[in-house]
Structure 1
Amino acid sequence: MRPARTRPHPRPASSAGGGARRRAALPRHPAAGPLGLLAAALAGAGYLYTRDPHLPGQALPFCPFHRLTGLQCPGCGGTRAAWDLLHGDLSAAWHDNAALLLALPFVAAWYLVRLRHGLAGRTWRLRLGPRTVAALLTAAALWTVGRNLL
């Protein structure tokens, strides 16, 4: 014998205080993202300017990959390189992480395009094809292997 099927009770169309209701999202201006990123970057740069990552005991983030393996990831040295750039020492920043310095103009160009579109009231997203993503991942892997072998 099969159990009888039960029908769920219909929900009332508008119940006061019953169930979760979906809230409408607040509209956001397209420039909010780039301007928020700029504010966060300025706050981070201001904090980093007063800390020297070359000295031990500073309240700065650490690399979990380096902490676990002892090897350097593609981003290792980025905090030191940023500190060196903030203090005008380009050669030390290059020594800390050359790949990040080479990527900096591309990141700046991406940010400026996104900011320009946002201020004009348009949304814009960077779309990378599969070949570009593969090339970036390959470059990061080669950089990681190269810097750990030398």
Structure 2
Amino acid sequence: MSAALPPVAAALAALAGLCYLYGHSPYEPAQLLPRCPFHWATGLNCPACGGTRMTYALLHGDARTALRMNPVLCAALPMAAYPYGRWALAGLRGQRYRLRLGRGAIGLILGTALAWTVVRNVLGR
């Protein structure tokens, strides 16, 4: 298998999802959009809750609404783009890339997710 196949497949899948979301508002009932299993089971918002609405707003050029829907996830998008870019570039060069995170980085990510979960549920966001 070519090293470029996984990042290209991921980009195509993301593009297909974004194209679908662009034309299907998460604010309208009965849309075929994923529901958060954590919210369904607990009634609480997870760290990514609001991510679909945030993405919909970004696709329609509404950064203010996107930030209101999930500011932490919105701020994390550029940080997620970097490792994807490294993965894609390595794949296009015929190389493999594996993101390596140390314990501190993993702790920071998990701690931020936990703190955001608590804050958003206490504030009712």
- Normalised TM-score (structure 1): 0.80
Q: Partner residue of 2:72?
A: 99
Is 1:142–2:115 an aligned residue pair? yes
Cα shift at 1:65 = 0.8
Find the counterpart in structure 1 of residue 54 from structure 2.
81
SS at match of 2:32: coil
Whether 1:112 and 2:112 are equivalent positions in the alignment is no
Q: Does 1:46 align with 2:19?
A: yes
Report which structure shows greater RCO (CA 8 Å, sep ≥6): 2
Which stretches in structure 1 are left out of the alignment for 5+ residues? 1-27
Deviations 1:25-69 (CA, angstroms, capped at 9, x unpaired): xxx111111100010011001111110001222111101111111
When the two structures are superposed, what TM-score results if normalisation uses the length of structure 2? Answer: 0.95
> Residue type matched to 1:64 in 2?
P
Give the RMSD, CA atoms, in angstroms. 0.8
Q: For this pair of structures, how many residues does the alignment match?
A: 123
CA distance, structure 2, for counterparts of residue 115 and residue 125 of structure 1: 11
Corresponding position of 1:37: 10
In the alignment, the residues of structure 2 paired with residue 55 and residue 39 of structure 1 have an alpha-carbon distance, to the nearest angstrom, of 26
Q: Which amino acid aligns with 1:38?
A: A
Partner residue in 1 for 2:94: 121
Give the Cα separation in 2 of the matches to 1:135 and 1:100: 14
1:56 aligned onto 2:43: no
Q: Distance in 2 between matches of 1:107 and 1:30?
A: 20
**Greater CA radius of gyration, 1 or 2?**
1
Residue in structure 2 matched with residue 72 of structure 1 by the alignment: 45
Give the helix-richer structure, 1 or 2: 2
